[in-house]
Every structure is written in C-alpha cells, then in structure tokens.
C-alpha cells in the first residue's frame, strides 16, 4: 500500500507540528508562569487598593472634622493671630469700669508655640457685676486672654478697686516658620 501525499501537505503537516510545539512551549514557559505572577500581583494590588480606600475614608473623615472645627472655632483661630494692643483693649473695655489702667508688660514667656504676655491691670468699678460682665466680654474679645487668680478687690467709699493679672496668648510666628521649614525639608 502506497500512501499518496503531496509535498505541500507534508510541508503543511510539518509546519502544523512545529506551530503546535511552539504554542505548547510558549504556553508552559511564558504564559503559565506570567499568569501566576499576574495573579499574585493582582492580589497585592487589591490589598493595596483596599488599604488606600481605608486611608482615603479616614482622610475624608478627618478633613470633615477639621473643617467643622475650623468653622466652629473661627473666632478663636483668628484671635490667636491678633497681636495684643493695650490701648485698643482699654478702649474696648473701659465701659465696664470708671477707669482702667493697663501696666506695661512684665515679661514675655514662651510656652511651646505661643507667646504669653503677662499684663497687670488696675481698675475702679461700681459693683462686682460690672467686673463679671467684663470677664464675659473678654471671652468674646479679639484676643485669647486668661485672667489669673487671685483677683484683689478693695472697697473705697462707693468704688471698688480691683487688681489682677491677665495672660494674653499669641501664636509664636517664628516657631510656626521653623515647623513649616522642617516639614518642607522632610
């Protein structure tokens, strides 16, 4: 029995076997190992995306809280930026007293990021009620002020003399610049 195959059929068969071997070798040597690597990297990317979403959600929550706190405390934030002016303070709060004298700043003490001015005041008031109204007014003033105890009251006929010290807090701009410079270096 004689098999009658033509030369182009033989070439076609050899080429088909060669392509089959090439496809099998390519699959086992390149595609399958790369597929395993792809699956491992895809798993890592999914974990990183989940972590990124978690951090983005945390960032959004903190940003929302920051905006809310900035809105609620806008007066306090701007009060830290205002520098203390004794003449302006006297003009704003003289209405609570018969006379109000602010003595010179005793000393400046730096506490962390704030500059603290200690101010001694002496005033004449009609009644303690006006002094308490004054305390309420400084809570709403343009500065962050802390009234230090003791507050001395001395009665002289129809007037009450009061004497107390206040601490006025300002943001220390030099420490903020240093902090910003150190953050930008990192």
Assess whether 167 and 89 both reside in one domain: yes
Note whether residue 31 is domain-resident. Answer: yes
Residue 2 located in a structural domain: yes
**Do 163 and 108 touch, CB atoms closer than 8 A?**
no
Q: Looking at residue 77, what is its pLDDT?
A: 75
pLDDT at 153 over 50: yes
Task: Quote the domain boundaries for residue 5.
Answer: 1-72
Exposure b/e, 83-95, CB count within 10 A at least 16 = b: ebebeebbebbee
Choose the final residue of a domain: 72, 105, 127.
72
Domain containing residue 147: CATH number: 3.30.70.60
Q: Examine residue 183 and state whether it is found in any structural domain, yes or no.
A: no
Domains: count for the chain: 2
Q: Check residue 73 and give its pLDDT.
A: 80
Structure tokens at 75: 């007066």
Percent of the chain past pLDDT 70, that is, above it, reads 74
pLDDT in tens, 97-115: 777 777 665 555 555 555 5
Residues 112 and 139 in one domain: yes
Residues paired with 159 in a beta bridge: 156
Q: How would you label 20-51 residue by residue, b for 16+ Cβ within 10 Å and e otherwise? A: eeeeeeeeeeeeeeeeeeeeeeeeeeeeeeee
* Residues 127 and 47 occupy one common structural domain: no
Residue 107 sits in the same domain as residue 54? no
Model pLDDT, residue 113 = 55
68 and 108 together in one domain:
no
Are residue 68 and residue 86 in the same domain, yes or no? Answer: no
């Amino acid at each position: 029995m004689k098999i009658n195959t033509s030369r182009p059929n033989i070439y076609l068969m050899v080429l088909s076997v060669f392509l089959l071997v090439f496809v099998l070798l390519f699959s086992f040597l390149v595609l399958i190992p790369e597929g395993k690597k792809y699956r491992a990297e895809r798993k890592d990317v999914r974990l990183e995306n989940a972590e990124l979403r978690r951090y983005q959600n945390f960032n959004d929550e903190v940003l929302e809280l920051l905006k809310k706190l900035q809105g609620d405390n806008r007066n306090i934030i701007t009060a830290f930026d205002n520098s203390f002016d004794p003449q302006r303070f006297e003009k704003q709060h003289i209405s609570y007293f018969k006379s109000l004298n602010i003595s010179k700043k005793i000393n400046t003490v730096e506490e962390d990021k704030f500059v603290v001015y200690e101010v001694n005041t002496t005033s004449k008031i009609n009644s303690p009620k006006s002094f308490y109204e004054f305390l309420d007014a400084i809570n709403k003033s343009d500065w962050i002020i802390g009234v230090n105890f003791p507050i001395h009251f001395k009665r002289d006929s129809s007037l009450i003399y009061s004497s107390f010290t206040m601490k006025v807090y300002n943001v220390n701009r030099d420490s903020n610049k240093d902090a910003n410079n150190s953050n930008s270096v990192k």
